[in-house]
Amino acid sequence: MPRFICQGTWTDGGGVVVNEGTVTVYKAGGTTSVTIYEAATGSAASDNTVESDVYGHFVFWVDTEDYAPSQQFKYVLSKTSFSSKTYDNIVIFPQVGIWGGSGVYNFTSDTGAIASYTLGSIPDNSVITRAWYQVITAFASSGSATCAIGVTTNDANGIITATAFDDGIWTTAPVYKDGDPDGTVTNFTTQTTAERDVVFTIAGAVLTAGKVKVWWEYITGE
């Protein structure tokens, strides 16, 4: 997924740059730490802070692999003997109106236990408008497992309703297929009442094989 840059120059009230100051990054509106990166490629930073350089310049990246594109951010500038500055509701990701995500369930790494496996997330007040999936490895079970794809709490069967593991939708691989949301309003998932995970859910019995990749588009309302 792409990373997007946030950068600025920290100056004091007199316009003098503040070097070696700490920039601490949070989700907008609170103090929930976020994952940031110090470059366009490579591993995440060790924490949610960066420092301004000798010119007062600071820079960090955030990634849509970690956060929904509608996520906004906050950063706090602080240094001993200086008044701290807070900037909230910072938009870093491009705002295009329709966003998307994807995720993979893989028996090899996730196991086949009866559980829900997180594929991604969507924000509060959002509906999934379209979804697609690709069965990469056909599903198998030692019992009568069912599998579903949906949104935690609000619509657990919203993308694919719970269906037997040996149904053709799970056993034909590798093929791209449509989820239930197809762009028509009547087939949107139920609007979320908080930020929710998109999940693949196994019920009834364990899986012994299977891999599926899921893509979705969503919009966020009021």
What is the Cα–Cα distance from 216 to 41, expressed in whole angstroms? 25
Q: Average per-residue pLDDT in the chain?
A: 93
DSSP of 52-111, one letter per residue? --TTSEEEEEEETTTS-TT--EEEEEE-TTS--EEEEEE--S---S-EEEEEEEEHHHH-
What is the Cα–Cα distance from 201 to 51, expressed in whole angstroms? 42
CATH 2.40.50 describes domain 3-90: no
219 touches 116 (CB < 8 A):
no
CATH class of the region 99-220:
mainly beta
Residue corresponding to tokens 């070097």? 19
User: Averaged over 88-107, what is the pLDDT?
Assistant: 86
In the chain, where the domains are located: 3-90, 99-220
What is the Cα–Cα distance from 209 to 166, expressed in whole angstroms? 11
**Which pTM was predicted?**
0.65
Please tell me the predicted confidence (pLDDT) of residue 69: 76
Residues in the chain: 222
Output Rg (C-alpha) for the chain, integer angstroms. Answer: 21
80 touches 58 (CB < 8 A):
no
Q: In this predicted model, what pLDDT tens digit does every residue of 175-218 receive, in sequence order?
A: 789 999 999 999 999 999 998 999 999 999 999 999 999 999 99
Nearest-CA neighbor of 85 among 56, 47, 54?
Answer: 56
